[in-house]
Structure 1
Amino acid sequence: MSGERCCVECGARLSRYNAAQWCATCAPAAVDEPMEMSAQFWWSEHMLAALSTWHLGRVIYAYRTHPFHGPQPLSQKRVAAWLDVTQAQLSRIETGPAPEVITKLMRWARILRIPAELLWFKLPSTSTLGEVNRNDFLRTAAAVTATAAASPHGLLQLLNETTPADLPARVGSAEIEQLRAASSLFASWDARYGGGLVREVVATQLRVAVSYLRAGCAPRYRNDLYAAVGSLAHTAGFMAFDACVHRDATDMFALALKCAEEADAWQLRAKVLSSSARQAIWTGKPKEGLRFVQQAFLHSDRLTATERAMLYTTEARAQAKISAVEEVVKAVGHADDQFSRADPAENPSWMNYYDAAQHAGDTGHALFDLAIHGRFGGEARRRLQTAVAGHAGDAERSRTISMIKLASLTMATGDPDEAVGIGSTAVQRAASLRSMRAAEDVHELRTFARRAGAHLVQAAE
């Protein structure tokens, strides 16, 4: 087969995950320790499904049984030696309750070289980000945003080309504009690639932005500064939410809310509370999500019709999780009514994403939880189809997640063969994202597929 790679020792075909010259059997064993695995290894569905459980034992098991290792998984005995535990202890770690001792979690994660952005707990920082000039990065981000689209990989190279510099003694309109531009750029990366790709870098930039609040600032710029920091905090929080690093997301949303309220920025406040509500709903706390939405509706007359539509769709998603059918229908109706009055020219920049496709997807997601139980299935499907067809490439994550939901709904209530076609495409798309939310939705889709006796195509690596 053209392009096929073989082991230099035994001639066996090498796995697509294997960047080395040897197969797992023939690999040099002078020093038996975990090798550096490729990004394809870690971002494969096999590993993401395990990582999404927040159970390091299951992650270790997935590591041992990954297709990279060929037909023969790594033995428990060998991996136990790496982790400095007995084989019996590793067996209990893999099959028992999720380990919770953070020092052990950090040590095992470091030994296996698990990328920090995939973990649900924080590793001590070993990066050199503290040695670069983050102010130059913010300025460059502003310049790039103003002139051309940028890829994360290209712009992040700038972090290696800057030198240390002190934070400004005073902050004015130029620094505020840099923060706004950086927030806009990061948000566009998030929507296109998912929150896991550059989350740590954005968090670092957020710490710099917070330090601006301690610098001198003319009173006329004070509210704008707080609003700019709040917007960047919200972007960082949503990236953490998408990566399912929920403690970080909660802290960042809280910072964003405090900044918005300090700046008297009611529109930003509503957006932050809506995102906090979505995180609460995602983590199984829909009633807490409803409380956030109720807070966001305070002084709703200061919000645009698009923002009110956003809040009603969030309310509908929360109500659906507690099976409040009438409330879901009412909230979706209010959302549709508000969106019919929307004028994009009135919206703040962070609401540019909320177009007809986003509205259809968000309301379709709310109806999904009713549809899988036999209520409003046709309407949920129609809205999800509209979202999939309407999202552009700069909203790749939203389009993919709506496609996954559409496949799950079709698998549960419609034609499994049709669902396989939709779902296999969705799985392929999800593999190119760095979104743990999308990975968890794929896991849900596979559960529906198993119940229907259907088989989805594996993601290409």
Structure 2
Amino acid sequence: MTHSNCPRCGGRLARDNDSGRCAPCQAAERDRLSAPPVVPPSFWEHEPVRQALTERHLGRVIRAYRCHPYHGRVALPQTVVAGWLGITQPQLSRVENGPPLVYLDRLAHWAKLLCVPAQKLWFRLPDQHCWTDASLMGGATDGPHDEDQVPEQGGRAALAVNVEAPSQGGGATDRRRFNVLAALAGLAAGGHTYLLPGPPDRAPGNIGMEQVRLASSLVDDLRRADAAAGADLLCDVAIQAHARLSTWAAQATYSREVGDALQSALADLSIEAAWLAIDAERRPEARPYLHEAITRARIADDPRVEVRALTHLSLLIRESQPGESLHCAEAALRVSAGWATPRLTTLLHLRRAHAYAVLRDASAFSREMSKARQELDRGAHDDDQGFVHFVNAQELNGIEGISYLALGRPARAVQSLRAIPANPSPGHRRNQVYYAVRLSEAAHRQGDVNEAARIALDALPAVGQINSKRVTQHLAQMRWNLAASRHATKTTRQFVDAYDWAVSL
């Protein structure tokens, strides 16, 4: 046997040493069954590791890590590394040999566990101060900007909440958290860190219009980020900012003019927090925010904010209290009479149509849908409020489709949901995926399990990226429906297996 050196410390190995490690290094790493070893910086320059990092595939990075010469002549077993990662050996095998991971929380956790240098990663770790990075402040980014990106205005940093994934692949992995950090970027850029999650900074003792405009702009940022990525990560951000701003408003001083504007801004933030709670399936948390918003809107004598709150309240209670949902939409129509734009009126008629469907009143449902179509045909208006940006033909067909499901008419539901455009703008992606999952449900209720599985399988990758528990719960129900079907097919089994594999990672 020839002499060789220990790859860990460089020491000379004895002729009869067949482990590939010297005795001190073996002793130093006897606890490797419970935790990864500490590796030198040169470890990450090994060509297979460098190549895997370049490919933006964490599974291949883990495989290159296991097979690194630093560990000796024999690669680390998958069972050992799987134990570090908190998964099973078969799961690790699928991670190493399957498609790249797309869930940032898993990527970040494993990268930190293995101590991969942050500068070598293609995504940002949670403890990095991303909101100070140039790419979040309107500077260069890894990928092309969406046409709806927010321009820089009034000295406030532009928030790239709709940035597309890099063409090299892998950039979509941190898009969901990127949207959250982008929503926070405006606060940090403006020096208003006392509204950020974490230990509170000292807030100014006086509130002026600048701070009111900040609260209003935060709502806009949250709305855009939510449209692109869903609510699960954003909900707590909105709740935290609302709590900070409400506490500050109760303690600070301000003029009567600022006070009215502040009430409206706080009401708007309450509405956004409520909507994010609805989409995150945290519905019990939403109602108090909407009641607060209605109260603040009336104090400020702001009917536009009151109508927004009533519109969201109608949505929130539609399934549990459809009669009250109708009354909320009717009240919103009454308050907005004389100034409502066509798209706002369309939305209110859609709210009433769906509530009538839940009540199984097909005639009233059809009447409200006809009114909604007539209003939508009148087109957009310069006075459209931001919260009605999603009201378009896709939304009308989607509401019609799920209303037909509530009426027990799945064939008509399939017809309406299939009419939804296949390629919506990025800002409407979440709703398009939601309606795709509901189309799968309609096909299943119609008796076409094979088509239901095919639609659900096509939607599965997108569902993992939009971060909306309202959507994921519908897809989970489809998984159980198809798994329990007596008419299992190759496609249904393929979807169930793909779904189970996705949630196991």
TM-score range, shorter chain: 0.5 to 0.7
Query: Which residue type is aligned with residue 160 of structure 2?
Result: A
Match status 1:175 vs 2:211: yes
Match status 1:320 vs 2:369: no
Aligned to 1:443: 476
Query: Which residue type is aligned with residue 393 of structure 2?
Result: A
Displacement of 1:418: 2.6
Q: C-alpha distance in 2, partners of 1:246/1:336?
A: 29
Q: Which moved more, 1:341-350 or 1:448-457?
A: 448-457
Aligned to 1:217: 254
Please tell me whether the aligned partners of residues 412 and 448 of structure 1 are also in contact (alpha carbons under 8 angstroms). Answer: no
Query: Which residue type is aligned with residue 207 of structure 2?
Result: V
Please tell me whether the aligned partners of residues 142 and 182 of structure 1 are also in contact (alpha carbons under 8 angstroms). Answer: no
Query: Which residue type is aligned with residue 466 of structure 2?
Result: L
Aligned to 1:237: 274
CA shift digits 1:129-183 (9 cap, x unpaired): xxxxxxxxxxxx9989752314335445857999854333332221111111101
Displacement of 1:194: 1.7
Please provide the CA RMSD for this pair. 3.9
Q: C-alpha distance in 2, partners of 1:234/1:142?
A: 24
Displacement of 1:14: 7.0
Displacement of 1:438: 0.8
Q: Aligned in 2, Cα 1:177/1:394: closer, same or farther, shift over 3 Å?
A: same
Displacement of 1:281: 2.1
Aligned to 2:85: 19
Structural mapping, 1:303-342, within 5 Å: 303-342=340-379
Q: C-alpha distance in 2, partners of 1:414/1:208?
A: 51
Q: Aligned in 2, Cα 1:437/1:220: closer, same or farther, shift over 3 Å?
A: same
Aligned to 1:206: 242
Structural mapping, 1:182-197, within 5 Å: 182-197=218-233
Aligned to 2:404: 367
Displacement of 1:313: 0.7
Q: Aligned in 2, Cα 1:161/1:350: closer, same or farther, shift over 3 Å?
A: closer
Query: Which residue type is aligned with residue 441 of structure 2?
Result: S
Please tell me whether the aligned partners of residues 274 and 289 of structure 2 are also in contact (alpha carbons under 8 angstroms). Answer: yes
CA shift digits 1:199-221 (9 cap, x unpaired): 22211100122235433332333
Match status 1:424 vs 2:461: no
Q: Aligned in 2, Cα 1:183/1:9: closer, same or farther, shift over 3 Å?
A: same
The structure that has the greater radius of gyration is 2
Q: Which moved more, 1:231-240 or 1:382-391?
A: 382-391
Q: SS where residue 389 of structure 1 aligns?
A: coil
**Of residues 152, 157, 172 in structure 1, which corresponds to 2:179?**
152
Q: C-alpha distance in 2, partners of 1:203/1:328?
A: 35
Please tell me whether the aligned partners of residues 398 and 435 of structure 2 are also in contact (alpha carbons under 8 angstroms). Answer: yes
Structural mapping, 1:47-66, within 5 Å: none
Q: Aligned in 2, Cα 1:250/1:153: closer, same or farther, shift over 3 Å?
A: closer
Please tell me whether the aligned partners of residues 180 and 233 of structure 2 are also in contact (alpha carbons under 8 angstroms). Answer: no
Query: Which residue type is aligned with residue 311 of structure 1?
Result: L
Q: C-alpha distance in 2, partners of 1:204/1:164?
A: 11
Displacement of 1:383: 3.3
Structure 1 segments unaligned to the other structure (5+ residues): 25-36, 42-127, 129-140
Q: C-alpha distance in 2, partners of 1:401/1:21?
A: 30
Match status 1:453 vs 2:487: yes
Q: C-alpha distance in 2, partners of 1:425/1:18?
A: 33
Q: C-alpha distance in 1, partners of 2:254/2:330?
A: 33
Aligned to 1:433: 466
Q: C-alpha distance in 2, partners of 1:161/1:269?
A: 28
**Of residues 392, 396, 418 in structure 1, which corresponds to 2:429?**
396
Displacement of 1:405: 0.7
Displacement of 1:448: 4.4
CA shift digits 1:369-425 (9 cap, x unpaired): 22xx337x34x3343234352532222221111000111112222643332221112
Q: C-alpha distance in 2, partners of 1:342/1:263?
A: 30
Please tell me whether the aligned partners of residues 145 and 185 of structure 1 are also in contact (alpha carbons under 8 angstroms). Answer: no
Structural mapping, 1:241-260, within 5 Å: 241-260=278-297
Q: C-alpha distance in 2, partners of 1:38/1:401?
A: 21
Q: C-alpha distance in 2, partners of 1:429/1:337?
A: 32
Query: Which residue type is aligned with residue 181 of structure 1?
Result: S
Aligned to 1:100: none
Q: C-alpha distance in 1, partners of 2:364/2:486?
A: 30
Please tell me whether the aligned partners of residues 159 and 221 of structure 2 are also in contact (alpha carbons under 8 angstroms). Answer: no
Alignment: residue pair count: 352
Q: SS where residue 473 of structure 2 aligns?
A: helix
Q: C-alpha distance in 2, partners of 1:191/1:145?
A: 21
Q: C-alpha distance in 1, partners of 2:298/2:283?
A: 22
Displacement of 1:198: 2.6
Please tell me whether the aligned partners of residues 408 and 448 of structure 1 are also in contact (alpha carbons under 8 angstroms). Answer: no
Q: Aligned in 2, Cα 1:21/1:250: closer, same or farther, shift over 3 Å?
A: closer
Structure 2 segments unaligned to the other structure (5+ residues): 1-58, 68-74, 91-102, 108-126, 128-151, 162-177
Q: SS where residue 298 of structure 1 aligns?
A: helix
Q: What TM-score results when the alignment is normalised by the length of structure 2? A: 0.61
Q: Aligned in 2, Cα 1:420/1:209: closer, same or farther, shift over 3 Å?
A: same
Q: Aligned in 2, Cα 1:337/1:14: closer, same or farther, shift over 3 Å?
A: farther
Counting aligned pairs with the same residue, the percent is 17
Q: Aligned in 2, Cα 1:251/1:299: closer, same or farther, shift over 3 Å?
A: closer
Q: Aligned in 2, Cα 1:18/1:143: closer, same or farther, shift over 3 Å?
A: farther
Q: C-alpha distance in 2, partners of 1:145/1:411?
A: 49
The structure showing larger relative contact order (alpha-carbon pairs under 8 Å, at least 6 residues apart) is 1
Q: C-alpha distance in 1, partners of 2:197/2:344?
A: 40
Displacement of 1:233: 0.9
Q: C-alpha distance in 1, partners of 2:353/2:88?
A: 54
Q: C-alpha distance in 2, partners of 1:305/1:11?
A: 60
Q: SS where residue 232 of structure 2 aligns?
A: coil
Displacement of 1:231: 1.0
Q: C-alpha distance in 1, partners of 2:210/2:341?
A: 28
Aligned to 1:277: 314
Q: What TM-score results when the alignment is normalised by the length of structure 1? A: 0.66
Q: SS where residue 296 of structure 2 aligns?
A: helix
